[in-house]
């Protein structure tokens, strides 16, 4: 059975450990990596500053097929087959070709963790331990990572800690970075509609949202411009919807791919920029790239490929998606430049069933749930499909 160990206060004892695979980060991407390594015989250690499922930082919604493919249906709170898009001059109901579901963050993380056989420790990852240049490390030698409880060493290390890219060599700080910013409130109260606002009265470049999730509704504003503060428009949108601005959460959101490997470390999720521009959807991509990373790690641990081959294959897999991310980023930059009246007419024309099916099916293909099929099997040859 998986072991969870949250250390706080006097219980925050020194941590000195060796593992086969060290996964830094216990959210979507990190748990997806560990899930792929279940029953491999590898000692997998997950470390995170917070307990599994403790700190939600997103609106927690994903294509329902992804949640079903990973046996996460119990976490679903509400499912939608229609997206309502509002602009200052028009609103459109888009009947989706596939459904979208909001879910409970802690419950989903618990379900994912239950599918792993990894160990868990609460520890703040501080960075990689750099050896002196005079020390020559064997090609497959262990990598040491510093935490606030001591050093952890592993043959394979994954950074799934988010946009800060803690184990990387280059700084990445807002607002001088390709990051969007988002904030949302979680008022009590139900709703039947999944809604988006593309309205410069709320945010010049970005959008607002209302994502119902059973007994609560998640209302927020995201700005593609990291210098634009989103608290006031978030509160205003909640007020316009007659909702209380309570239970805040926010985060920085990457909107550009970064290298998926660096100096022997695997990066996945937000640490590799695996969040789609324009929509800021990062959950299914975190699962998708996390699973791809885990499959390469499994192949390496089981001796079918070397660590260097695993690094190269995973890096190539991530990079093969770059053109898709760049197209999404191009759209992200274009939408705020469209005149509001023209945008309203465009949204209205794009609400036809034929266009919605074509566009949303292509969008889902960027990280399709079919990728989850047979995930426990030995790693297949990965493609960008």
Instruction: Kindly provide the b/e burial profile for residues 232-263, where b requires at least 16 CB atoms within 10 angstroms of the residue's own CB.
Output: ebbbebbeebebebeeebbbbbbbebbebbbe
pLDDT of residue 56: 82
pLDDT of residue 374: 60
Q: Residue 308 pLDDT more than 70?
A: yes
* Torsion angles phi and psi, residue 183, rounded to 5: -145, 140
CB atoms within 10 A of CB 15: 18
Q: How far is CA 250 from CA 229, 286, 347, in A?
A: 11, 18, 28
- Give the whole-angstrom CA distance, residue 161 versus residue 201: 34
| Residue length of the chain | 385
What average pLDDT does range 26-36 have in this prediction?
Answer: 97
Give the SS3 label for residue 341: helix
**Where residue 384 falls among pLDDT bands split at 50, 70, 90?**
very low
pLDDT of residue 212: 96
pLDDT of residue 313: 98
Could you tell me what percent of the chain has a pLDDT over 70? 91
CB atoms within 10 A of CB 341: 12
Report yes or no: 177 and 298 within 8 Å, Cβ to Cβ: no
Long-range contacts (CB closer than 8 Å, 24 or more residues apart) made by 69-72: 69/369, 69/370, 69/372, 69/373, 70/35, 70/112, 70/115, 70/287, 70/372, 71/111, 71/115, 72/103, 72/108, 72/111, 72/112
Write out pLDDT tens, residues 129-166: 976 433 344 456 799 999 999 999 999 999 999 999 99
CB atoms within 10 A of CB 141: 14
* Torsion angles phi and psi, residue 147, rounded to 5: -125, 170
Write out pLDDT tens, residues 211-252: 999 999 999 999 999 999 999 999 999 999 999 999 999 999
pLDDT of residue 6: 56
- Give the whole-angstrom CA distance, residue 59 versus residue 71: 20
Q: How far is CA 116 from CA 72, 132, 332, 370, 383, in A?
A: 13, 35, 36, 20, 25
Q: Residue 175 pLDDT more than 90?
A: no
**Strands in 2-103 per DSSP E:** 17-24, 44-48, 61-63, 76-87, 90-103
Q: How far is CA 14 from CA 7, 20, 121, 152, 160, in A?
A: 10, 20, 11, 11, 22
The pair of structure tokens assigned to 185 is: 């409130």
Q: Which residues contact 312 (CB under 8 A, 6 or more apart)?
A: 261
Write out pLDDT tens, residues 45-85: 999 999 999 988 788 999 999 999 999 999 999 999 999 99
- Give the whole-angstrom CA distance, residue 144 versus residue 234: 42
Q: How far is CA 120 from CA 195, 239, 315, in A?
A: 37, 41, 26
What is the H or E stretch that residue 197 is in? strand 194-197
**Where residue 107 falls among pLDDT bands split at 50, 70, 90?**
very high
- Give the whole-angstrom CA distance, residue 92 versus residue 81: 14
Opening angle at CA 164, ends 299 and 168, nearest 5: 55
pLDDT of residue 149: 93
Report yes or no: 73 and 67 within 8 Å, Cβ to Cβ: yes
Q: Residue 375 pLDDT more than 70?
A: no
pLDDT of residue 4: 55
């Amino acid at each position: 059975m998986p072991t969870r160990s949250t250390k706080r206060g006097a219980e925050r004892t020194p941590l000195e450990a060796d593992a086969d695979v060290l996964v830094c980060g216990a959210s979507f991407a990190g748990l997806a990596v560990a899930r792929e390594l279940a029953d491999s015989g590898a000692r997998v250690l997950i470390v995170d500053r917070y307990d599994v499922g403790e700190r939600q930082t997103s609106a927690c919604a994903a294509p329902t097929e992804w949640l079903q493919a990973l046996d996460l249906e119990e976490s679903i709170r509400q499912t939608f087959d229609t997206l309502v898009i509002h602009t200052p001059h028009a609103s459109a109901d888009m009947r989706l070709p596939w459904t979208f579901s909001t879910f409970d963050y802690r419950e989903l993380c618990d379900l994912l963790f239950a599918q792993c056989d990894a160990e868990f420790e609460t520890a703040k990852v501080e960075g990689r331990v750099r050896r002196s240049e005079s020390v020559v490390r064997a090609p497959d030698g262990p990598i040491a990572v510093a935490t606030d409880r001591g050093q952890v060493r592993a043959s394979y290390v994954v950074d799934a800690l988010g946009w800060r890219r803690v184990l990387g060599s280059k700084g990445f700080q807002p607002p001088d970075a390709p990051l969007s910013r988002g904030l949302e409130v979680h008022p009590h109260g139900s709703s039947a509609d999944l809604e988006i606002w593309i309205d410069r009265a709320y945010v010049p470049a970005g959008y607002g949202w209302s994502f119902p999730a059973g007994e609560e509704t998640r209302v927020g504003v995201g700005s593609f411009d990291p210098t634009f503060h989103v608290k006031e428009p978030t509160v205003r949108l909640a007020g316009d919807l007659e909702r209380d601005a309570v239970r805040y959460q926010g985060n920085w959101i990457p909107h550009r791919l970064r290298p998926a490997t660096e100096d022997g470390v695997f990066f996945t999720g937000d640490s590799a920029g695996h969040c789609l521009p324009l929509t800021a959807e990062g959950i299914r991509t975190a699962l998708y790239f996390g699973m791809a990373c885990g499959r390469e790690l499994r192949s390496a641990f089981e001796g079918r490929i070397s660590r260097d081959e695993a690094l190269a294959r995973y890096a190539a897999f991530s990079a093969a998606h770059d053109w898709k991310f760049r197209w999404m980023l191009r759209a992200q930059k274009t939408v705020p430049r469209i005149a509001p009246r023209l945008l309203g007419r465009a949204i209205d024309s794009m609400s036809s069933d034929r266009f919605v099916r074509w566009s949303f099916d292509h969008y889902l293909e960027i990280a399709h749930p079919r990728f989850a099929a047979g995930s426990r099997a030995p790693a297949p040859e990965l493609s960008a499909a």
